[in-house]
Amino acid sequence: MAGELNEAKETFRTIQDFFATIAMHACHESRDSKEYLEARQAMDCAMTEALWRSNAVDVYDINAADYGEINLRLDGVPSYYLERREAGKESASAIR
C-alpha cells in the first residue's frame, strides 16, 4: 500500500511539473509573476478536480472505504479573514 501511495505521489508530481513548465512558457513571465501564479493555481485546481472525481465517495455509504486525509498548509497573512472578523464584531456590537 505504501509503495502504491508513493508511486501515485510521484505521478502527481510529474504531471504537476509538466503543467508548471507549460505555464512558464505560456506566460512569458518569471515564476514570481501574477500571470504564472494564476496559471499554476488553475492547473492545480484542475488536477484536484480530476482526482476528486476519480475518487468520488458516496457520503451516505457508511461502508465506504477510508480514503485517508487531506493535509493542507497555507502560508501568508489572512488579511481578508481578519478584516471580515473585525467587521463582524463591530456590527454585532452596534446591534447591541
Predicted confidence at residue 33, as pLDDT, reads 80
If 0-12 CB within 10 Å is exposed, 13-18 middle and 19+ buried, where does residue 16 land?
middle
Which amino acid is present at 41?
Q
Residues across the chain: 96
Helix (H) or strand (E) holding 87: helix 79-95
| 83 or 55, which is more confident | 83
In the predicted structure, residue 96 carries a pLDDT above the cut 70: no
Predicted confidence at residue 53, as pLDDT, reads 77
pLDDT digits (tens, 9 = 90+) for 48-65: 888 877 777 666 776 766
Residue 66 banded pLDDT, cuts 50, 70, 90: low
